[in-house]
A and B are shown apart, each in its own frame.
Chain A
Amino acid sequence: MRPDPPIALQRIAQALAFEVAPQLADPFVQQTAGLAATVAAMLAEEWDRAAARLVEENAALRSLFAGAVELAPPELAARLRSAAAEVDTDLRVSRLQAANDFLRRLLIELHEWCEGEMERDPRVAALNEAIWEELKASTRRRRLVARPI
């Protein structure tokens, strides 16, 4: 789509914040216009990066799982192996999000297992640290520059 949707969304945000909201007398409605502007600005930021962010994170999680297969107990290891072998072929954001949800649910399980086992095996302790690094990275990927208007 041209003009690019993020640009159109930014224009919508600016119109709402600087042209529409100041004309509104009702404080609640004025706030609603400001919120609409903020949400539009956030969507503008997310629109372009969403697929890339999810593909990157899904790949990072699968890589983490691949490295955890040899440490985890058999049943968990089998699911980690299966998840690690998946590839994102459908690049619609909804599909990538569903895959991300599946992988992050498995990450929670793996993390909990690590916490219970890391005292007995330094390799599990290292995996635990890798999970924390991934959690930090996940917040960096999701961080938005847009702020409430």
Chain B
Amino acid sequence: MSAGTHAAAALRPKLEAYLAARLEAPELRIVALWRVPGGASRETWIVEADLPGDPPRRRAFVIRRDPPASLLESDRELEFAFYRAFAGSAVPVPRALWLERDPNVLGSPFFVMERIDGCEASPRRVIEPSFDSARPRFARAMYEILAAIHTFDWRATPIPDVVEVPAPEECWRRELEHWERVIDEQELSPQPVVRAGIRWLRANPPPPPARVTVVHGDFRVGNLLFTPEGEIRGVLDWEMAHVGDPLEDLAWSFLENWEWARDGLKGGVIAAEEAIAIYEAASGIQVDRNALHWWEVFSSVKAQAIWLTGARSFQEGRSTELIHAMTAYWLTNFQDEVLLRSLGRAP
């Protein structure tokens, strides 16, 4: 039995008991359970269960479980609240069902969502030739959805209960101080490039946004569920969501890391100016190019903080997941190169 199937076997009876109790269906049976590859923060499990009936009714769920260590020190209650807040809005999200804080149920806290069927989530899929005809629709939808996130009226939702709401002029400072603190705590070796980037950010602050909005915090192709026709049906991974400057999300989606085809297309799907035009038209937010540049430099600092966190958790044995070693070996230096380019210090 492999490590993955061993973990699934250990999880299955506990999860079956939990779902049976939640759904008041004592005869519920799990028919499939597997861990989704690729996650570097919270563990994601897919579970398919048959509920009694003739014929039995099958339901599929997604379990987001806290790991022993991750790339992010994130708050499951916050992520759950954002999923709840966007339910039924113009921003497609999976339906969040239950939040379980008791670590004894599955070994660590978790929450449960309904699975969205018929979708893909691979960022590499969007650069395949077979996606050519769907790509324009997908790219437009991506930036219209980002606009919908940023025009969402969040004040009457659970969001203010789980986040601090900064004044517009404090958005950049709060984010920069947060991620600088992460780097201070997590770096295994000094990082002269990212330190220079942080000093540049402090010396060249952006103007405040016209209004503070929800910021997804990790808005990129890899966190979208989409159909082969390019329809986006789910925005995932809200664990870094907060309230702040909307340009933070736009800049993050433009990060060179996600230019999968290395052809200059953001996320592998769209030119930056085209994405900005779609976003501006849909949101009514005018994108200040200098402010966007500030957030692009910031995005590399934030990304570096995430890779450094994974490196330390692997080094100290809090995580044995090889994705942390791989991202550290590969992306730490890549991020320095991206940052040097953003600062105009490398071609």
Is the pairing of A and B real?
yes
Residues of A within 8 A of B (CB): 24, 26-32, 35-36, 38-39, 42, 46, 97, 100-101, 104-105, 107-108, 111-112, 115, 132, 135-136, 138-139, 142-144, 146-148
With contacts A42-B329, A136-B346, A144-B329 taken as known, whether A27 is within 8 angstroms of B322 at the C-beta atoms is: no
Chain B, range 21-50, C-beta contacts under 8 Å to A: 34-38
4 further contact pairs, Cβ within 8 A, besides A26-B2, A39-B326 = A30-B37, A101-B190, A107-B192, A147-B330
Asked if B108 CB lies within 8 Å of chain A CBs, one says: no
Compute how far the CA of A26 lies from the CA of B37 in the bound complex, rounded to whole angstroms: 9
Distance to closest chain B CB from A116 (angstroms): 10
Among A29, A107, A115, A148, residue most surrounded by chain B Cβ atoms (within 10 Å): A29
Q: Which residue of B lies closest to A98 (CB)?
A: B189
With contacts A29-B4, A112-B199, A139-B340 taken as known, whether A104 is within 8 angstroms of B190 at the C-beta atoms is: yes
Establish whether residues B34 and A39, one from each chain, have CB atoms under 8 Å apart when the complex forms: no
With contacts A28-B35, A39-B322 taken as known, whether A111 is within 8 angstroms of B192 at the C-beta atoms is: yes
Among A36, A108, A112, A148, residue most surrounded by chain B Cβ atoms (within 10 Å): A108
With contacts A31-B37, A42-B330, A135-B340 taken as known, whether A36 is within 8 angstroms of B322 at the C-beta atoms is: yes
Contacting B345 at CB < 8 Å: which of A26, A105, A135, A143? A135
Asked if B193 CB lies within 8 Å of chain A CBs, one says: yes
Contacting B36 at CB < 8 Å: which of A28, A38, A143, A144? A28
On chain A, the residues within 8 Å of B37 by CB distance are 27-28, 30-32
Establish whether residues B2 and A24, one from each chain, have CB atoms under 8 Å apart when the complex forms: yes
Among B5, B329, B337, residue most surrounded by chain A Cβ atoms (within 10 Å): B329
Establish whether residues B322 and A135, one from each chain, have CB atoms under 8 Å apart when the complex forms: no
On chain A, the residues within 8 Å of B3 by CB distance are 29, 32
Asked if B336 CB lies within 8 Å of chain A CBs, one says: yes
Distance to closest chain B CB from A124 (angstroms): 15
7 A/B residue pairs, CB under 8 Å, sorted by A? A26-B8, A28-B4, A105-B190, A135-B192, A139-B337, A142-B333, A147-B330
Establish whether residues B36 and A27, one from each chain, have CB atoms under 8 Å apart when the complex forms: yes
Compute how far the CA of A26 lies from the CA of B33 in the bound complex, rounded to whole angstroms: 10
Asked if B20 CB lies within 8 Å of chain A CBs, one says: no
Counting contact residues on chain B (CB < 8 A from A), the size range is 20 to 34
Q: Which residue of B lies closest to A42 (CB)?
A: B329
Q: Mark B1-21, 1 if CB is under 8 A from A, else 0.
A: 011110010000000000000
Compute how far the CA of A107 lies from the CA of B321 in the bound complex, rounded to whole angstroms: 32
Secondary structure dominating the interface of A: helix
Establish whether residues B189 and A135, one from each chain, have CB atoms under 8 Å apart when the complex forms: no
Asked if B59 CB lies within 8 Å of chain A CBs, one says: no
Q: Which residue of B lies closest to A31 (CB)?
A: B37
With contacts A39-B329, A42-B326, A42-B329 taken as known, whether A27 is within 8 angstroms of B190 at the C-beta atoms is: no
Compute how far the CA of A135 lies from the CA of B34 in the bound complex, rounded to whole angstroms: 44
Establish whether residues B322 and A29, one from each chain, have CB atoms under 8 Å apart when the complex forms: no
Establish whether residues B4 and A32, one from each chain, have CB atoms under 8 Å apart when the complex forms: yes
Q: Which residue of B lies closest to A112 (CB)?
A: B199
Compute how far the CA of A104 lies from the CA of B37 in the bound complex, rounded to whole angstroms: 36
On chain A, the residues within 8 Å of B36 by CB distance are 27-28
Distance to closest chain A CB from B167 (angstroms): 28
Distance to closest chain A CB from B124 (angstroms): 10
Establish whether residues A148 and B192, one from each chain, have CB atoms under 8 Å apart when the complex forms: no
Compute how far the CA of A20 lies from the CA of B192 in the bound complex, rounded to whole angstroms: 40
On chain A, the residues within 8 Å of B326 by CB distance are 35, 38-39, 42, 148
Asked if B325 CB lies within 8 Å of chain A CBs, one says: yes
Asked if B196 CB lies within 8 Å of chain A CBs, one says: yes
Compute how far the CA of A104 lies from the CA of B326 in the bound complex, rounded to whole angstroms: 23
Compute how far the CA of A108 lies from the CA of B189 in the bound complex, rounded to whole angstroms: 12
On chain A, the residues within 8 Å of B333 by CB distance are 139, 142-144
Compute how far the CA of A27 lies from the CA of B192 in the bound complex, rounded to whole angstroms: 38
On chain B, the residues within 8 Å of A138 by CB distance are 192-193, 336
Distance to closest chain A CB from B122 (angstroms): 12
Establish whether residues A104 and B189, one from each chain, have CB atoms under 8 Å apart when the complex forms: yes
